[in-house]
Amino acid sequence: GALIDIIEARKGLEMHAAALASERRTIEDISNIKAILKNMRGSLNDYNAFLHHDMDFHLSIGMATKNEIIIDLMEKIQKISFNTRDTLWKTADHIEINIHSDLAKHEKLLEFIVAGDAQNASQCIARHLDELLERLKRGVTREKD
């Protein structure tokens, strides 16, 4: 239940952050996000490492907004989210995970940010978080690639 609450809160914040990042990102921001995606690709066989890179990915989008309040909120909510996901991963009998699908969604989000497409970036992160919410609401079932 706590993780569902966190993801619901993240949705609005990250939709706005993705839109702002699309409008305000710099070449350095894009380079940083691409490096994190490369790390994500390299950790497909290590879920814990993948989660760390996933958190970095979302924080890097927050940084690209250039809005100190959004950055601070995203840092706090990502830390809470990570700790909750980590506890769930260690204690649940089943967790539905599709790392390859999650990576593809992150790559698509970056495409929209690079293109400066605020509307599609916002919708992309909304769909990603909605799918994550649905997985959690169905119950935790493990589906590893």
**Residue appearing with tokens 């993705």:** 18
With vertex at residue 123, the alpha carbon angle to CA 78 and CA 2, rounded to the nearest 5 degrees, is 35
Can you read off the two tokens belonging to residue 100?
A: 């390859």
Confidence of residue 143 (pLDDT cuts 50, 70, 90): very low
Among 10-24, 50-64, 122-136, the least confident range: 122-136
Residue 12 one-letter amino acid: G
> What is the pTM (predicted TM-score) of this model?
0.86
pLDDT in tens, 65-76: 999 999 999 999
Copy the structure tokens of residue 54.
Answer: 């996933």
Q: Using CB atoms within 10 A of its CB, is residue 115 exposed (0-12), middle (13-18) or buried (19+)?
A: exposed
Over 50: is that where the pLDDT of 145 sits?
no
- How far from 62 is each of 7, 16, 57, 89, 113, CA to CA, in Å? 16, 10, 9, 25, 12
pLDDT score at 80: 87
- Rounded Cα distance between 61 and 32, Å, is 10
pLDDT in the model for residue 90: 57
How does pLDDT run across 6-43, given as a tens digit for each residue? 888 999 999 999 999 999 999 999 999 999 999 999 99
Comparing 98 with 51, the larger pLDDT belongs to 51
Q: Compute the distance between CA of residue 131 and CA of residue 133 in angstroms, rounded to an integer.
A: 5
Amino acid at site 23: E
Answer whether 118's CB lies under 8 Å from 19's CB: yes
